[in-house]
Structure 1
Amino acid sequence: MHAGIQQHLRHNFVVNVLDGAFFGAAFGFASKVAVIPLFIATLTDSTTIIGLIASLQMIGWQLPQLLTANYVAGLHRYKRAVLIMSIHERAPFLGLALVAAAYPVLGPSVTLALAFLLLVWQALGGGLTATAWQAMICKIMPPGRRGTFYGTQSAASGLGESLCVVIAGILLGAEPQATDFAICFLLASIAMVLSFIFLAKTREPAIAPTQHADRDWRRFMARLRAILARDTNVRWFLVARVLAQFAGMSVAFYAIYAVRAFDITAETAGLLAGVLTTAQMLASPLLGVFGDHWGHRRAMGIGILLASCSALLVMTATGLGAFYIAFALAGVGNAALWTTVMTITADFGTLEERPYYIGLTNTLVAPATLIAPLLGGWLADTISFQATFLVSGISGVLATFVLMAIMHDPRQTHHTNLAAPEPVGLD
């Protein structure tokens, strides 16, 4: 690790953890497992639409990453691109606040359409930012600290989210009104501004790219095909990630199922979401440290297996108490799918190939991210919620088998990732 990164390591660690804390706070006020599903449920009875909207963030995060990989590979610095593109994942929350406030005038159909468009914009903004952001983090955090960083940042995000989702539940009350949702979304937009301020304080050394980006689309695609053809390990990683999408698809339906089957209030739904984010907060640094010492592949497998147990527990629940345990297990699964996935991805390939691996391992999973909630909603609508939970449980067991029995830790076979070229400046 060169001096430019070492000198600013502590500063970058702190400001990016604070970025994550306020980012998480925003997603507490606009929780994708409680607030947004409940808001959409006031506009439509379709569980398929609710499931699709709940998955938009992950679809938008994954789908555009391959499209920006070639551009990112040719950058000296990533920070400016991150800041510009990140505006698109933050501004829509203010739009949601305005749309929710205007619900009495707009009516349910127009409000649903506008909310959907804003959520798509927000999700795609995250995906446009993702490759450059991950590349920046990989550059400013040395390999042996990435798991710890992602875990700590995720814990800070979880803390902000768990506190704010409980506040959101209190604001919404037993019978939430449109103005209550508007206040939650406005608070989310304020938290996003604070997050952006800390992100902008990142100190990134300018490092000359090790290669020139291929502007010819055919050569770019040929390079991607070559990576997939030669790297068996990344192909199994993709299989595990696809299965993991189906393992996690049922979480978006937990709150709706609890409302319909056990008649819980919005405040209780907020408490359950708080349990999930608290569990995620506590598990994230533990999984990060565990992965840095004993392998992120194993940490990911443990998390997905617990997510499977969560779905099977909800499937057989006879009382509300089971949901608290299930949401906690789902939180550990979420921690694994964030902390470990990005760390594993950064360990594939050489330094110059990293943006391509980041794009490949996210964009190729996007179809499964889209299909999984649609399948889950369809199963819930046509058969039962239990069918959705059963498919999730089985998918998680299969994903765990692939990770534990077939795939290998990429860091063990890609030591070239540990080297980094000398900086040529600092931003």
Structure 2
Amino acid sequence: MDTEIRRHFRFNFWVNLLDGGFFGFALGFASFSTVLPLYVATMSDSAVLVGLIPAIHIVGWQLPQLFTAQRVQALNRFKPWVLSMTIHERIPFLFLGLIAWLSPTLEKTTALWLTFVLLTWQGLGGGLTANAWQNMIGKIIPSEYRATFFGVQSAGANLLGSAGAALAGLILERLAFPGNFALCFLLASLMMGLSFLFISLTREPEHQVETRVGDSKAFWAEVRIILTQDKPFTWYLVGRIIFQFSMMAFAFYTVYAVQERGMGKFEAGIMTSVLFITQVIANPLLGWLADRWKRQPVLEFGAFAVVLSALLAWLAPALNWFYLVMILTGIANTVFWAIGLAITLEFGPESQRPTYVGLANTLIAPAAALSPLVGGWLADQWGYPATFAASAFLGLIALGVLHFFVRSPEREHSASTTPTSG
């Protein structure tokens, strides 16, 4: 099977890179941080509802992964599951366009309910897809290229996502409501369709499995054994959870710079651009570095970037320092996502990889949901500097855990191996 995988490596690399790029392009038109909050704000002034939008997306992607692991582990090909489940994270944007178009004729409460039902459907669709998708990538992309792949794919998604967001801004500004939002969601749906086309072209050979579907007691016993006996992986999970909490300050840097340090909105926009550009550059660079060097030091570098970003935001003597804060934020985001995905796929035997992937995501979900709430509570009680100080402190703890307790498994490979083209 290894020969077959390497024969199709280049083809699979490119079609999945295009899948990620157009997926990011779609999310630019229906951004969970700008477009969708603006749309919900046309129907409600509730900050809680606005805050729920990214939370549903993140938790929906992470939470289901352990609960699908048993079924995914019994598959001899991951692609059919991916294609059947990923429809549920793509189709909702088409219906959002329809709801947006009809919103003037609907009761606001009804439109809100329908919107959040669709967002929940989309989030859970991503979560039902995620475990099988990660295992498919782990199967078709050789170990020595995985961090590079995730980095390049994330860079493409960020680049096209920023272009989609810019176009969405023009549409929202120049077209009247509700046509502006309806067009954004329709374009997101179209880009999702193109993304689906490319992922459907993936060439994945079959592999042998132990069929254990239905034996739930054995599966959960396996989960307990992994958590109690695989100490490096357990410490990796602890490090990831603390890492997630340490990033709670990221959501407040721009607000703090504008509201309390006097930064103008134009400069705030430039800061956002710096964040996007950093992630576009850092994703492939750090991915390549992790593959060619070691993944563990790159992971620790990401935690160190969290500490520096929070300290600089807290102690910055001038507004110009916030550009460096954003660069460090982009580096930390890149490491947590791209390098984290690559390292997770290295733990455990391949037959148990879906269980490891599920644990590495589902157990992080509560931290992903709670960290911005904790950061906001700290800011409300003692001001934004308290949130930044807490983030820096937690970042130091994460760095200590990752350095002293986590031993990232490095698959035996030769970085000079060049797969033949498909």
Shorter chain as denominator, the TM-score bin is 0.7 to 0.9
| Corresponding residue for residue 26 of structure 2 | 26
The 10-residue stretch of structure 1 (278-287 or 255-264) with the greater mean CA deviation from structure 2: 255-264
1:282 aligns with 2:281: yes
CA shift for structure 1 position 245? 1.6
Q: 1:189 to 1:272 in 2, by over 3 A?
A: farther
The amino acid that maps onto 2:150 is Y
Which is further off, 317-326 or 379-388?
Answer: 317-326
Matched to 1:30, the amino acid is: A
Q: Tell whether the 8 Å contact from 2:20 to 2:156 is kept in structure 1 after alignment.
A: yes
C-alpha separation in 2, matches of 1:76 and 1:285 = 30
Percentage of pairs with the same residue: 45
> Match for residue 82 of structure 2?
82
Amino acid at match of 2:93: F
Quote how far apart the aligned CAs of 1:219 are. 1.4
Count of matched residue positions in the alignment of Structure 1 and Structure 2? 412
Structure 2 unaligned residues grouped into runs of 5+: 414-422
Shift of 1:360: 1.1
Q: TM-score, normalised by structure 2?
A: 0.88
1:335 is matched with: 334
Equivalent-residue separation in structure 2 for 1:393 and 1:55 (angstroms): 23
The answer to whether the Cα contact below 8 Å between 1:51 and 1:252 also exists between their aligned partners in 2 is no
How far 1:388 sits from its partner (Å)? 3.3
Residue 384 of structure 1 is matched in structure 2 by 383
> Which residue matches 1:153?
153
8 Å CA contact 2:85–2:129 kept in 1: the answer is yes
Q: Which residue of 2 aligns with 1:212?
A: 211
Q: Are the counterparts in 2 of residues 93 and 189 from structure 1 also a CA contact under 8 Å?
A: yes
**Deviation at residue 384 of structure 1 after TM alignment:** 3.4
Q: Which residue of the partner structure matches residue 420 of structure 2?
A: none
Is 1:50 the counterpart of 2:50? The answer is: yes
Deviations 1:167-219 (A, max 9, x none): 3334344999554333332222211111111000101111121x222522211
Partners of 1:33 and 1:113 lie apart in 2 by 19
Separation of aligned partners in 1, 2:106 and 2:376? 27
Counterpart in the other structure of 1:191:
191
Matched with 1:424 is none
* CA distance in 1 between partners of 2:237 and 2:315 (Å): 30
Q: What's 1:409 paired with? A: 408
Structure 1: gaps of 5 or more residues: 417-427
* Superposed counterparts of 1:277-316, under 5 Å: 277-315=276-314
Alpha-carbon RMSD:
2.8
Amino acid paired to 1:299: V
Q: What is the aligned partner in structure 1 of residue 234 from structure 2?
A: 235
Which residue number corresponds to residue 423 of structure 1? none
Question: What's the TM-score, normalizing by structure 1?
Answer: 0.87
Whether the 8 Å CA contact 1:298–1:403 is kept in 2: the answer is: no
More divergent stretch after superposition (256-265 vs 71-80): 256-265
- Mapped to 2, the partners of 1:244 and 1:43 lie a distance apart of 35
CA contact (8 A) 1:48 1:373 kept: no
Deviation at 1:237, TM superposition (A): 0.8
> In structure 2, what is the equivalent of residue 132 of structure 1?
132
Per-residue CA shift, 1:323-369, capped at 9, x if unaligned?
Answer: 44433322222211111111111110111111110111111111111
Residue 374 of structure 1 is matched in structure 2 by 373
Classify 1:257/1:292 alpha carbon distance in 2 versus 1 (closer, same or farther; 3 Å).
Answer: same
Residue 360 of structure 1 is matched in structure 2 by 359
Letter in 1 for 2:303: I
Asked whether the 8 Å contact 2:263–2:319 carries over to 1, the reply is: no
Q: Cα–Cα, structure 1 residues 147 and 130, in superposed 2: closer, same or farther, change >3 Å?
A: same
- The equivalences for 1:154-173 within 5 A come to 154-173=154-173
Instruction: Give the secondary structure class of the aligned counterpart of 2:410.
Output: helix
1:16-39 Cα deviation digits (max 9, x unpaired): 001111011112222233333444
Query: What corresponds to 1:425 in structure 2?
Result: none
Report the AA paired with residue 221 of structure 2.
A
